[in-house]
Amino acid sequence: MDWIQSWKDTLFLLLDDVPVSLREVVASIAIDGTSATTIIIDSRSEEPLSRAFLYNESCPDALPLVKSIAPAKHTVCSGSSTLCKLVSWWNSYPSSKESAVLLHQADWLLWLLHGKLGVSDYNNALKVGYDPEMDSYPPWLLSQPYSHLLPSVQDPGTKIGYMKEDIRTQFGYPKDCLICTGTTDSIAAFLAARATQPGKAVTSLGSTLAIKLLSSRRVEDARFGVYSHRLDDKWLVGGASNTGGAVLRHLFTDEQLEKLSEQINPFETSPLDYYPLQAVGERFPVADPKMEPRLHPRPESDVEYLHGILESIARIEAKGYKLLKDLGATPVEEVITSGGGSKNQKWIKIRERVLGLPVCKADQTEAAYGAALLAMKGACENATSD
């Protein structure tokens, strides 16, 4: 599939989907994209120099070289990091690389709107090696032969420029419509949940299980798939497991999930001990590419089986938060839930019991809402500076 063309087509469909009466009052736009989804562009022709590298693609060929230059346990020391994708491309691309530029998914989509090639944000740039604490690329990265591909980095929600005239006139947006730097999808989902104090956490129960904890202290350890994003003067610490809703969807229909969940007593402990994965391999809270799924024995009762799976995923979530605390992050005090799994009230009750913490559903569960908050921040800052 041509992902790059697909994303461009979808962006323009979304621009066209905004009601005509609202387009003229749109003040600013920001976009969230999938972390570590990587696109390399020729700055002269403005055409891609390869297919897109998707977020979950691993480049094991580049990992030894990346580990030889990066500090131990650094976020880039994972085969799926943006830096591994860049190094893999650099070592295999046969032609001139002088005019190449690296962009993340959100960077590239925003570039289509503002036209200034090579601008990113410090959330997306984390997995290519950007140091959000120093607010710069580290010397060990800048000394590499491919460092000229790295984009400039700004705070998320910062004005880049105004919408290009051809796009603006095609869709009917105002000439002063700002285009602002974006963020990753998981950060946008956290922002949407409005968790603002250290100790507040957001668990996203989508196709995978992702946890994010607002911490006063930065925590990173690639051995466990743990990394920290900067969020103003605090740190968003977390990781993403391969368990989650995709496993449930593989075993049950939405209707079955709803009906079976109604019959679960969430205050009873399930004796079943599973590790629900769709395929071999886990990222967090254990980084083990050879971990096998464990979904047996299966009881005769589908209610008991679903109960066991939901509780097993909750135990993985609890292990994740305990790991973050053990590594030095601010202890979690409350968990806000986003994603499709947040609709399952029985699962929320199971998770409350397993975590031993208050758990609630986020008022806003869409990452796009978080991106809109960043766009509003950019518009407000621009108005103040003007």
Q: Is the pLDDT of residue 56 over 90?
A: no
Name the percent of the chain lying above pLDDT 70.
100
Helix (H) or strand (E) holding 105: helix 105-114
- Closest among 166, 156, 140 to 104, alpha carbons compared: 156
Q: What is the pLDDT of residue 327?
A: 96
Q: What is the pLDDT of residue 138?
A: 98
User: How far is it, in rounded angstroms, from Cα 359 to Cα 362?
Assistant: 10
Q: What is the pLDDT of residues 224-240, one digit of tens each?
A: 889 899 998 999 999 98
Q: Is the pLDDT of residue 386 over 80?
A: no
pLDDT band at 308 (very low <50, low <70, confident <90, very high): very high
DSSP 329: P
Q: What is the pLDDT of residue 206?
A: 84
User: For residues 61 and 88, is the Cβ–Cβ distance under 8 A?
Assistant: yes
Kindly report whether the global pTM for this prediction surpasses the value 0.75: yes
Domains along the chain? 3-8+33-186+368-384 (3.30.420.40), 195-362 (3.30.420.40)
Q: What is the pLDDT of residue 366?
A: 84
pLDDT band at 339 (very low <50, low <70, confident <90, very high): confident
DSSP letter for each residue of 240-270:
EES-SHHHHHHHS-HHHHHHHHHT--TTSPP
Q: Is the pLDDT of residue 365 over 80?
A: no
User: For residues 237 and 218, is the Cβ–Cβ distance under 8 A?
Assistant: yes
Q: What is the pLDDT of residue 185?
A: 86
Q: What is the pLDDT of residue 223?
A: 83
Q: What is the pLDDT of residue 129?
A: 97
Q: What is the pLDDT of residue 1?
A: 85
Q: What is the pLDDT of residues 163-186, one digit of tens each?
A: 999 999 999 999 999 999 999 988
Q: Is the pLDDT of residue 22 over 80?
A: yes
Residues 6+ apart with CB under 8 A from 246: 207, 208, 278
DSSP letter for each residue of 290-338:
TPPPB--SPPS-HHHHHHHHHHHHHHHHHHHHHHHHHTTPPPP-EEEEE
Q: What is the pLDDT of residues 66-91, one digit of tens each?
A: 999 999 989 899 899 999 999 999 99
Q: What is the pLDDT of residue 338?
A: 87
User: How far is it, in rounded angstroms, from Cα 331 to Cα 283?
Assistant: 21
Span 11-25, mean pLDDT?
A: 97
Q: Is the pLDDT of residue 201 over 90?
A: yes
Q: What is the pLDDT of residue 117?
A: 96
Helix (H) or strand (E) holding 16: helix 3-17
Q: What is the pLDDT of residue 100?
A: 97
DSSP 125: G
Q: Taking phi first (over 0 means left), then psi (-120 to 50 degrees means alpha), and beta for anything else, what does residue 268 get? A: beta
Q: What is the pLDDT of residue 73?
A: 84
The pairing of beta strand 178-180 with beta strand 152-154: unpaired
Q: What is the mean pLDDT of the chain?
A: 95
User: For residues 238 and 226, is the Cβ–Cβ distance under 8 A?
Assistant: yes
Q: What is the pLDDT of residue 159?
A: 97
Buried b (16+ CB within 10 A) or exposed e, 141-161: beebebeebbbebbbbbbbbe
Residue written as tokens 């590419």? 289
Span 9-31, mean pLDDT?
A: 97
User: How far is it, in rounded angstroms, from Cα 265 to Cα 345?
Assistant: 11
Q: Which two tokens stand for residue 136?
A: 């710069």
